[in-house]
Structure 1
Amino acid sequence: MSRGPVRVLRLGLRPYAEALRVQERCLRAARAARTGPGGPGVPGVAGVPVPGESVVLSEPAEPVYVWGLRGAPEAEVAARLRARGAGLAAARRGGRITFHGPGQLLAFPVLDLRRRRLPLRGYVAALEALVLRLCRRLGLAAARALPPPFTGVWMGDSKLCAIGVHCGNHITSHGLALNCCTDLTWFDHIVPCGLEGKGVTSLSRELGRHVTVDHVLQPFLDSFQEVFDCTLVFSEDPGD
């Protein structure tokens, strides 16, 4: 039995900061859906309700290093990263510094875990299961999730997909970053996610062919729908 509709916002190639702004609008919609008298949706275009839950999909248009709640890089490190032509940004999510850039799929699910009766650790496991299903669809059977405290999806000792989430009042934000055809040399200048001795990989490297973000969107959405037991409603206008 489906747990209701989830709105999909496909932003395409956009600056990281813009994806965050769209996520904030989705968060406001999710809060309004919970507290308002109108049931599972909030007013949209011409007063038609839109789902209170969303997933924002984007590909970062420019390279940016992003850190979570565990702290910003030291000033010297930040200056060195900026000198390489990358932006710097803070995010309200778990995890340490990582890289986002072209060739990477960012997915920010905005879901109500209380309504879904899903604990936070179970939600993180569901994101991992989603990416593992995607990998199976693409023929990458060796992908795996590691036991806590590790998160994400791995190929051996190299991380394929990073997960960093925030949950406030049981509503999720941020999410995952899947390396499709990312230039992995950007990761050489940091310790990704603070994990010493671990590497980073991509779908293109593991499959031996060029895999773009566009290539993985549909299998990602199919896997999302299965894991979160929902129907998807598509919206191309992030201002809805």
Structure 2
Amino acid sequence: MTILKGIRDETAKEDIMRLQQLGAEFRKTNRGGLITFHGPGQLVAYPIINLKNFKTSVRWYVDRLEETVIRICDELGIHANRSPDTGVWVEDNKIAAIGIHASRYVTTHGISLNCDNDLTWFKHIDPCGIKDKGVTSLTNETGVICTTNNMMPIFLKHFEQVFDCKTEEFDTDLQKKILDGLYNKIMIDAM
């Protein structure tokens, strides 16, 4: 589970304790949005992008992330759309959540796409603060197991098309160095 700190941190201590008793771990972050769940079977992508190289608009960036997921869903035969509630939806069920942070037009955090994850955790929270709506996954919608390993090449293909860019894969040591540095910065900013 992730929650964000500050004014919008509306998660009550009793709720946190209840979820911890169920086995949830919490991380406070500085991203936009309210409480959500991240777990195995979710494709979580946190692109680090300097929007000055694209368009200096956070709304544009969120729209592009949503478009990436909509194209993935379309390729799989799923009719998905945007909503005023942010994220990507299949009817009244959220299939992808977006929570970002941008500082000087450099983005952190990003998107989580439900591929083949355990959706029961969402029953214990109001995902992203949204009540009375459901959550779904690519596996639920297609009837075929959609692992993150299967979906990653499809995600990268559509991400590169939507953002008109080329992604790069870093070796494991460099990835760890970058992610450790970002994690430490994010955790310090969230305090």
Q: TM-score, normalised by structure 2?
A: 0.87
SS in structure 2 at match of 1:131: helix
Structure with higher helix content: 2
Q: Which runs of 4+ in 1 moved over 6 A?
A: none
- State how far apart, in whole Å, the 1-side matches of 2:138 and 2:56 are: 29
In the other structure, the counterpart of 1:103 is 41
In the other structure, the counterpart of 1:131 is 69
- Once the two structures are superposed, the pairs formed by residues 91-240 of structure 1 within 5 Å of their partners are 91-140=29-78, 142-146=79-83, 148=84, 150-237=85-172, 238=175, 239=177
In the other structure, the counterpart of 1:89 is 27
Measure how far apart 1:210 and its partner are. 1.1
- State how far apart, in whole Å, the 2-side matches of 1:128 and 1:118 are: 17
Runs of 5+ consecutive residues of structure 2 not aligned to the other structure: 179-191
SS in structure 2 at match of 1:154: strand
Structure with higher strand content: 1
- State how far apart, in whole Å, the 1-side matches of 2:156 and 2:58 are: 21
Deviations 1:87-136 (A, max 9, x none): 01111111110111011010001111122123110110000001111111
Deviations 1:128-161 (A, max 9, x none): 0011111112222x11112x3x211101101000
Identity %: 43
SS in structure 2 at match of 1:211: coil
- AA at the equivalent of 1:128: E
* Native 8 Å contact 1:145 1:152 kept in 2: yes
- AA at the equivalent of 1:151: T
Deviations 1:181-225 (A, max 9, x none): 110001111111111111111000011121111110001000011
- AA at the equivalent of 1:208: G
- State how far apart, in whole Å, the 2-side matches of 1:92 and 1:160 are: 22
Measure how far apart 1:72 and its partner are. 5.2
SS in structure 2 at match of 1:223: helix
- AA at the equivalent of 2:126: V
Greater Rg over alpha carbons, structure: 1
SS in structure 2 at match of 1:187: helix
- AA at the equivalent of 1:226: Q
SS in structure 1 at match of 2:31: coil
- State how far apart, in whole Å, the 1-side matches of 2:100 and 2:58 are: 9
- State how far apart, in whole Å, the 2-side matches of 1:231 and 1:115 are: 13
* Native 8 Å contact 1:158 1:200 kept in 2: yes
